Structure 1
C-alpha cells in the first residue's frame, strides 16, 4: 500500500491552489478563525547561565506550573551545532522520495521510529499537513540505526554530537524541575527511569500549504514525553492554547523551547502542567522543527512521586507502564 506523503501532495496542490478535503479542519480548529491574530505570546524566557540557582529553580517551577512551556537561552549548545542539525535534517527531506522511503515505517509495524506521515488517530479522519522522521538517539542500547538516514553522509555524526550536547542540558532541566517541587535534584529523573531515559528525536517537515488558514501541521495535543526540547527553524508555527485562545509563540533566535509533557505532569501529581499546543503551516515557506522527546523506557512504570503524596494531596493519576500510556493516548482511549 503506497502512502501519500504530504510533501508530494504539496507539490501537486500548489498548482491548483487547493488542498484535499481531509486536510481541511473543522471550523472550530481552523487557524484563521481560532487564532488571536496580531499577538505573539511571549512565553517565559529563562537564562540557564544565571548563577543564582534559587532564582533559576523558581523561574522554571513558575513557568512549568503556569504555562507548561518556556524557552531557555545560554544553554551551552553552540549555534553552529544547532545550524548543522537543521542543515542535515533539511537535506534528508530534500532527497528524492525513493531514497526517503528506504527508512519508512514498515507496513503493519507498531513502533513510531522511521520516516512517515500519519502518527495517530485523527478526529473526523482529518490529517496533519506534515511528514516526519522519528529515531532514538540515546541511550546507545535503544538506538536502531536502520531508521537513521545514510544521506546526507554527516547526518549520523551531527545527530550524535547534538545528543551528547543535549544530555547535560536535559539533566540540568530535570534537576531544576525536581528542586522546584522541593525534591532532591535526581528524583524526577529517577521517576522516569534514570539513566535508561530514552531520547527520541522527531523531525517535522511542513511543506508550503496553499490554504494555511484551513489546515494544521499537527492537531492540538499535549506531549506524551516527560519534557520535550525543541529546535524550530525561523518559520513561525508553534501555537499555545492560553486563556481559551490560540496564540502564536514568539521565537527567540537560538533558544531551545521546552514543553512540559504528560509524564512530568503525572510525576508532579498535577503541579506542573503539560502544555496544550498545535502547529500551523505557511503559504510560501517550509517550516521544520526538531523536538527531542525524553521518554521513560516502555516497560517502566510512571506515577506520582510518593514524596508528593499525602492525605491532603492524594494521587490524581494512575501509575502505569509508559507503553500502556502511549497505547491509550495514540488510540484516544481513557487513561
Structure 2
C-alpha cells in the first residue's frame, strides 16, 4: 500500500470545512460516554491531580536530605501514577521553545510540502510524516497526523528524512535529544535506587548509552468539528522504558487513574514523563505504565512532542529483575524481547482487548 494521499491527512479533512466527521473516526458507543469537553475537564480542581515533581533539589542541592526527599517524591509518583510533570529538569526553557517552534514550523508548511517526507508503514518505512492506518476490524482511526523519527544515538539517525524547513530543525532537535538523554540517565538512576538496585542497573538493562533508542513523534491534532465523538489517540500504554512529552499548552492528555479518566493540566516549562511497559516489566509492576489517551477540541490545534526511550528490539530479554522477584512477589511478566512484547500487545488488542482498556472505555 502506498503512502497516504493528501486527501487522507486529518489536517486536510479538518480544513475542508466539514461539519461532521467521517464514521471511521467515531469512537465505539461504549467509549463515547467518557469523552467530555477537554477545556472543562482541565479546569476541574476536585479529584486526583497528576503529580508535579520539582527536580531542582535532585539536580542542584549539596544537601543529601534534600536530594533524598526529591528522589523519594519521584519514586512515589512512578509507583502510584507512572506519569508526572517534571519541573526544574535542567533543560533550558529557550531550547524547549526552539524545538516547539521548529516542529510547529514544519506542520505549518503546505501539506504537499510535508508529503515529501511521507512514510510508508506498509513497506516498513515508519519514519517520516504520516497518519494512522486502520489496524483493527472496525477500521477505527485517530484524529491526528504526525512526524516520527529516531533522534538518538546520533550515529543511528537518518538525517535524510529530517525536515529541511525550518532550517534550524535539525540543530535544535539534536541538542534537545542530547540533553533529554542525560535526563533519562538521571531518572533511570533514581528509579534503580527506588528498587534497591545500584544506580546504573536499569540503564544497563534497557541498553545503555549505545543501544537505548530515542524516537521522537510530533503529534499534530487539528481542530475537530465533533470532538465529543473522536480521540486524538486511543487508550494505550507506552511500550517504552520512559516517555518524555512537551506540548503547546493546549490540554488533551488523560490518564486512567483509580477507575476514572483524569485530565492533565498544562504546567508551564514542564516535561511530562511516563513510565513505560519496559520499566514496569523490569520492576515487576512496582512502577506503573499507566493507560492514557488524547482528547481533541474545536477551538485549538494541539501539538505534542513525545520522545520514546526504547530498548533494542532483539538484543535484550525483558523480564522482571531477579532482585524484585520473590516467593511473595512472583514474576508478573514472562520473558520476551522488546519486539515480542510489541507483537504480544498488538495480538491481544486485535484478539481480545486488554481488560483495563475495556474498563476504561465504559467508565465515566
Mean alpha-carbon deviation: is it higher for 27-36 or for 190-199? 27-36
- Aligned 1:51-62 pairs, distance under 5 A: 51=61, 52-62=66-76
TM-score normalised over the length of structure 1: 0.94
Mean alpha-carbon deviation: is it higher for 101-110 or for 173-182? 101-110
Q: Cα RMSD over matched residues? A: 2.0
Residues 120 and 76 of structure 1: CA distance in aligned 2, closer, same or farther (over 3 Å):
farther
- Aligned 1:267-278 pairs, distance under 5 A: 267-278=282-293
User: Is there any run of 5+ residues in structure 2 with no aligned partner, and where?
Assistant: 355-364
Deviation at 1:75, TM superposition (A): 0.6
* Residues 191, 305 of structure 1: 8 Å contact kept: no
- Aligned 1:131-170 pairs, distance under 5 A: 131-170=145-184
Query: Who is 2:339 aligned against?
Result: 323
Mean alpha-carbon deviation: is it higher for 299-308 or for 262-271? 299-308
If each structure's helix is expressed as a fraction of its own residues, which one has the higher value? 2
Output the CA distance in 2 between the equivalents of 1:313 and 1:219. Answer: 32
| Other structure's SS at 1:281 match | coil
Q: How big is each residue's C-alpha offset from its partner over 1:208-232, in whole Å with a ceiling of 9 and x where there is no partner? A: 1111111100000000101101101
* Residues 136, 350 of structure 2: 8 Å contact kept: no
Query: Who is 1:91 aligned against?
Result: 105
Residues 87 and 33 of structure 1: CA distance in aligned 2, closer, same or farther (over 3 Å):
closer
User: Is there any run of 5+ residues in structure 1 with no aligned partner, and where?
Assistant: none
| Other structure's SS at 2:30 match | helix
Output the CA distance in 2 between the equivalents of 1:43 and 1:210. Answer: 28
TM-score normalised over the length of structure 2: 0.86
Deviation at 1:122, TM superposition (A): 4.3
Deviation at 1:33, TM superposition (A): 5.5
* Residues 53, 86 of structure 2: 8 Å contact kept: yes
Mean alpha-carbon deviation: is it higher for 203-212 or for 59-68? 59-68
| Other structure's SS at 1:125 match | coil
Deviation at 1:42, TM superposition (A): 2.3
Query: Who is 2:276 aligned against?
Result: 261
Residues 95 and 330 of structure 1: CA distance in aligned 2, closer, same or farther (over 3 Å):
farther
| Other structure's SS at 1:124 match | coil
| Other structure's SS at 1:102 match | helix
Query: Who is 1:305 aligned against?
Result: 321
Mean alpha-carbon deviation: is it higher for 44-53 or for 288-297? 44-53
Query: Who is 2:53 aligned against?
Result: 46
- Residue 283 (structure 1) aligned with residue 298 (structure 2): yes
* Residues 269, 317 of structure 1: 8 Å contact kept: yes
Output the CA distance in 2 between the equivalents of 1:156 and 1:127. Answer: 30
Deviation at 1:107, TM superposition (A): 5.6
| Other structure's SS at 1:317 match | coil
- Residue 228 (structure 1) aligned with residue 237 (structure 2): no
Deviation at 1:124, TM superposition (A): 2.5
Residues 42 and 191 of structure 1: CA distance in aligned 2, closer, same or farther (over 3 Å):
same
Query: Who is 1:16 aligned against?
Result: 18
Query: Who is 1:6 aligned against?
Result: 10
Deviation at 1:80, TM superposition (A): 0.7
* Residues 134, 141 of structure 2: 8 Å contact kept: no
* Residues 121, 330 of structure 1: 8 Å contact kept: no
* Residues 34, 246 of structure 1: 8 Å contact kept: no
Output the CA distance in 1 between the equivalents of 2:152 and 2:253. Answer: 26
Output the CA distance in 2 between the equivalents of 1:311 and 1:146. Answer: 51
User: What is the total number of aligned residue pairs between the two structures?
Assistant: 333
Output the CA distance in 2 between the equivalents of 1:132 and 1:179. Answer: 36
Query: Who is 2:228 aligned against?
Result: 213
Q: How big is each residue's C-alpha offset from its partner over 1:29-51, in whole Å with a ceiling of 9 and x where there is no partner? A: 22546989452552111111113
Output the CA distance in 1 between the equivalents of 2:139 and 2:258. Answer: 28
Output the CA distance in 1 between the equivalents of 2:276 and 2:155. Answer: 24
